[in-house]
Amino acid sequence: MNTRTLALTGIHTDIGKTICSAVMVQALGCDYWKPIQAGKLTHSDSLRVRALITRTDVCLHPEAHRLEQAASPHAAARAEHTVLALNDFTPPQTTRPLLIETAGGVCSPMTQQHTVADVLAHFALPTLLVVRHYLGSISHTLSAIDALNIRGVHLLGLLVNGEPNTDSEQFISEYACVPILARIDELPHISRDSIQIQAKRLAHKLPAALIPWKTTHE
Protein backbone atom coordinates (compact mmCIF):
# COMPACT_ATOMS: atom_id res chain seq x y z
CA MET A 1 0.00 0.00 0.00
CA ASN A 2 1.11 3.56 -0.69
CA THR A 3 2.82 4.70 2.52
CA ARG A 4 1.72 8.28 1.83
CA THR A 5 -1.97 7.63 2.39
CA LEU A 6 -3.88 9.94 4.73
CA ALA A 7 -7.43 9.38 5.96
CA LEU A 8 -9.76 12.25 6.71
CA THR A 9 -12.67 11.42 9.00
CA GLY A 10 -15.09 13.46 11.11
CA ILE A 11 -16.72 13.56 14.50
CA HIS A 12 -20.08 12.99 12.83
CA THR A 13 -21.71 12.69 9.42
CA ASP A 14 -22.41 16.30 8.43
CA ILE A 15 -19.20 17.98 9.52
CA GLY A 16 -17.85 19.26 6.18
CA LYS A 17 -15.41 16.50 5.25
CA THR A 18 -15.89 16.96 1.51
CA ILE A 19 -15.18 20.69 1.63
CA CYS A 20 -12.12 20.00 3.76
CA SER A 21 -11.06 17.30 1.30
CA ALA A 22 -11.28 19.74 -1.61
CA VAL A 23 -9.09 22.23 0.25
CA MET A 24 -6.58 19.52 1.14
CA VAL A 25 -6.39 18.13 -2.42
CA GLN A 26 -5.94 21.63 -3.84
CA ALA A 27 -3.31 22.58 -1.25
CA LEU A 28 -1.31 19.36 -1.20
CA GLY A 29 -1.71 18.14 -4.77
CA CYS A 30 -2.62 14.67 -3.54
CA ASP A 31 -4.95 12.15 -5.15
CA TYR A 32 -8.43 11.63 -3.67
CA TRP A 33 -10.54 8.56 -2.93
CA LYS A 34 -13.97 8.17 -1.39
CA PRO A 35 -14.25 4.39 -0.81
CA ILE A 36 -18.03 4.28 -0.80
CA GLN A 37 -20.80 6.58 -2.01
CA ALA A 38 -24.30 5.94 -0.71
CA GLY A 39 -26.94 8.06 -2.43
CA LYS A 40 -26.60 11.17 -4.61
CA LEU A 41 -24.66 9.27 -7.25
CA THR A 42 -25.08 12.06 -9.80
CA HIS A 43 -23.85 14.58 -7.22
CA SER A 44 -21.29 12.43 -5.45
CA ASP A 45 -18.61 13.70 -3.11
CA SER A 46 -15.97 12.82 -5.71
CA LEU A 47 -17.75 14.92 -8.32
CA ARG A 48 -18.10 17.76 -5.84
CA VAL A 49 -14.37 17.72 -5.07
CA ARG A 50 -13.60 17.73 -8.80
CA ALA A 51 -15.89 20.72 -9.32
CA LEU A 52 -14.26 22.69 -6.50
CA ILE A 53 -10.58 22.25 -7.39
CA THR A 54 -8.57 23.71 -10.25
CA ARG A 55 -5.74 21.18 -10.24
CA THR A 56 -5.55 18.90 -13.27
CA ASP A 57 -2.58 16.87 -12.04
CA VAL A 58 -4.48 14.90 -9.39
CA CYS A 59 -6.47 11.71 -9.81
CA LEU A 60 -9.89 11.20 -8.23
CA HIS A 61 -10.06 7.43 -7.96
CA PRO A 62 -13.42 5.70 -8.53
CA GLU A 63 -15.32 4.51 -5.48
CA ALA A 64 -15.11 0.86 -4.48
CA HIS A 65 -18.90 0.83 -4.08
CA ARG A 66 -21.64 3.10 -5.42
CA LEU A 67 -24.98 2.51 -3.72
CA GLU A 68 -28.28 4.10 -4.72
CA GLN A 69 -29.82 4.47 -1.27
CA ALA A 70 -28.88 7.50 0.81
CA ALA A 71 -28.21 5.66 4.06
CA SER A 72 -25.43 4.28 6.19
CA PRO A 73 -23.24 2.09 3.94
CA HIS A 74 -24.14 -1.13 5.72
CA ALA A 75 -27.88 -0.37 5.47
CA ALA A 76 -27.68 0.76 1.83
CA ALA A 77 -25.69 -2.36 0.93
CA ARG A 78 -28.21 -4.64 2.63
CA ALA A 79 -31.10 -2.94 0.82
CA GLU A 80 -29.32 -3.49 -2.50
CA HIS A 81 -28.24 -7.08 -1.70
CA THR A 82 -24.58 -6.09 -1.75
CA VAL A 83 -22.04 -7.58 0.62
CA LEU A 84 -19.40 -5.17 1.95
CA ALA A 85 -16.11 -6.66 3.11
CA LEU A 86 -13.24 -5.04 4.96
CA ASN A 87 -10.81 -5.57 2.09
CA ASP A 88 -13.16 -3.70 -0.27
CA PHE A 89 -11.68 -0.59 1.31
CA THR A 90 -8.07 -1.35 0.38
CA PRO A 91 -6.67 1.98 -0.91
CA PRO A 92 -6.04 2.17 -4.67
CA GLN A 93 -2.49 1.94 -5.97
CA THR A 94 -0.94 5.30 -6.88
CA THR A 95 2.53 6.80 -6.98
CA ARG A 96 1.18 10.04 -5.52
CA PRO A 97 0.13 10.91 -1.99
CA LEU A 98 -3.48 9.87 -1.42
CA LEU A 99 -6.25 11.45 0.65
CA ILE A 100 -9.11 9.16 1.65
CA GLU A 101 -12.41 10.73 2.70
CA THR A 102 -14.35 8.35 4.92
CA ALA A 103 -18.11 7.99 5.05
CA GLY A 104 -19.98 9.38 8.05
CA GLY A 105 -18.34 9.75 11.44
CA VAL A 106 -15.69 7.77 13.28
CA CYS A 107 -18.11 5.11 14.52
CA SER A 108 -20.41 5.01 11.51
CA PRO A 109 -20.90 1.45 10.18
CA MET A 110 -18.98 0.53 7.04
CA THR A 111 -19.84 -3.17 6.87
CA GLN A 112 -22.17 -5.31 8.96
CA GLN A 113 -19.27 -5.89 11.38
CA HIS A 114 -16.98 -2.87 11.04
CA THR A 115 -17.04 0.86 11.72
CA VAL A 116 -15.02 3.61 10.04
CA ALA A 117 -12.56 3.44 12.94
CA ASP A 118 -12.15 -0.31 12.41
CA VAL A 119 -11.28 0.29 8.75
CA LEU A 120 -8.74 2.97 9.66
CA ALA A 121 -7.13 0.63 12.19
CA HIS A 122 -7.12 -2.37 9.84
CA PHE A 123 -5.19 -0.46 7.17
CA ALA A 124 -3.05 1.44 9.70
CA LEU A 125 -3.99 4.77 8.12
CA PRO A 126 -2.64 8.01 9.58
CA THR A 127 -5.76 10.06 10.25
CA LEU A 128 -6.86 13.69 10.42
CA LEU A 129 -10.06 14.31 12.39
CA VAL A 130 -12.41 17.06 11.20
CA VAL A 131 -14.19 18.90 14.01
CA ARG A 132 -16.73 21.70 14.06
CA HIS A 133 -17.85 23.72 17.08
CA TYR A 134 -21.42 23.53 18.32
CA LEU A 135 -23.17 22.74 21.59
CA GLY A 136 -22.03 19.22 22.44
CA SER A 137 -19.08 19.11 20.06
CA ILE A 138 -16.52 18.74 22.85
CA SER A 139 -18.11 15.47 23.92
CA HIS A 140 -18.44 14.28 20.33
CA THR A 141 -14.81 15.14 19.61
CA LEU A 142 -13.42 13.45 22.71
CA SER A 143 -15.55 10.36 22.08
CA ALA A 144 -14.24 10.20 18.51
CA ILE A 145 -10.65 10.54 19.71
CA ASP A 146 -11.20 7.77 22.26
CA ALA A 147 -12.66 5.48 19.60
CA LEU A 148 -9.59 6.01 17.41
CA ASN A 149 -7.12 5.64 20.28
CA ILE A 150 -8.70 2.42 21.54
CA ARG A 151 -8.15 0.85 18.12
CA GLY A 152 -4.59 2.11 17.84
CA VAL A 153 -5.27 4.50 14.97
CA HIS A 154 -2.47 7.00 14.38
CA LEU A 155 -4.29 10.30 14.89
CA LEU A 156 -2.14 13.09 13.51
CA GLY A 157 -4.35 15.87 14.84
CA LEU A 158 -7.47 17.92 14.33
CA LEU A 159 -8.72 20.02 11.43
CA VAL A 160 -11.11 22.72 12.65
CA ASN A 161 -13.79 23.47 10.07
CA GLY A 162 -15.64 26.76 10.58
CA GLU A 163 -15.65 29.38 13.31
CA PRO A 164 -12.95 29.00 15.99
CA ASN A 165 -13.75 28.50 19.66
CA THR A 166 -10.69 29.07 21.82
CA ASP A 167 -12.14 27.60 25.01
CA SER A 168 -13.34 24.40 23.33
CA GLU A 169 -10.15 23.95 21.35
CA GLN A 170 -7.92 24.45 24.36
CA PHE A 171 -9.87 21.95 26.44
CA ILE A 172 -9.94 19.31 23.70
CA SER A 173 -6.29 19.70 22.76
CA GLU A 174 -5.01 19.66 26.34
CA TYR A 175 -7.33 16.94 27.62
CA ALA A 176 -6.75 14.56 24.72
CA CYS A 177 -3.14 15.59 23.97
CA VAL A 178 -4.01 16.05 20.30
CA PRO A 179 -2.76 19.06 18.31
CA ILE A 180 -4.85 21.29 16.07
CA LEU A 181 -3.04 21.00 12.75
CA ALA A 182 -5.15 23.08 10.40
CA ARG A 183 -8.16 25.37 10.08
CA ILE A 184 -10.65 26.10 7.36
CA ASP A 185 -12.69 29.27 7.68
CA GLU A 186 -16.46 29.36 7.70
CA LEU A 187 -17.40 29.64 4.02
CA PRO A 188 -20.68 31.50 3.41
CA HIS A 189 -20.31 30.74 -0.29
CA ILE A 190 -18.65 27.49 -1.32
CA SER A 191 -17.01 27.92 -4.70
CA ARG A 192 -13.76 27.31 -6.52
CA ASP A 193 -12.58 30.76 -5.49
CA SER A 194 -13.26 30.22 -1.80
CA ILE A 195 -11.59 26.81 -1.91
CA GLN A 196 -8.55 28.39 -3.60
CA ILE A 197 -8.24 30.97 -0.83
CA GLN A 198 -8.35 28.33 1.89
CA ALA A 199 -5.94 26.04 0.04
CA LYS A 200 -3.38 28.80 -0.46
CA ARG A 201 -3.54 29.68 3.22
CA LEU A 202 -3.11 26.05 4.24
CA ALA A 203 -0.21 25.49 1.83
CA HIS A 204 1.51 28.67 3.02
CA LYS A 205 1.51 27.53 6.67
CA LEU A 206 1.52 23.77 6.17
CA PRO A 207 2.09 21.90 9.44
CA ALA A 208 5.10 19.61 9.44
CA ALA A 209 2.84 16.63 10.16
CA LEU A 210 1.15 17.08 6.76
CA ILE A 211 4.28 17.60 4.63
CA PRO A 212 4.56 13.89 3.64
CA TRP A 213 1.30 14.30 1.71
CA LYS A 214 2.42 17.27 -0.35
CA THR A 215 3.48 16.35 -3.89
CA THR A 216 6.47 18.70 -3.97
CA HIS A 217 8.09 16.56 -1.29
CA GLU A 218 9.08 13.40 -3.13
Residue numbers annotated as active site: 34
79-113 burial, b for 16+ CB within 10 Å, e for fewer? eeeeebeeebbebbebebbbbbbbbbbbbbbbbee
Q: Helix crossing, 192-204 with 17-28: angle to 10°? A: 60
Residue among 5, 10, 178, 8 at smallest CA distance from 107: 10
- Whether residue 188 contacts residue 162, with contact meaning beta carbons closer than 8 Å, is answered with no
**Alpha helices, DSSP H only, in the chain?**
17-28, 45-52, 73-79, 116-122, 137-150, 166-176, 192-204
* Residues in a beta bridge with 182: 159
Indicate the burial class of 212 (C-beta count within 10 angstroms; 0-12, 13-18, 19 or more). middle
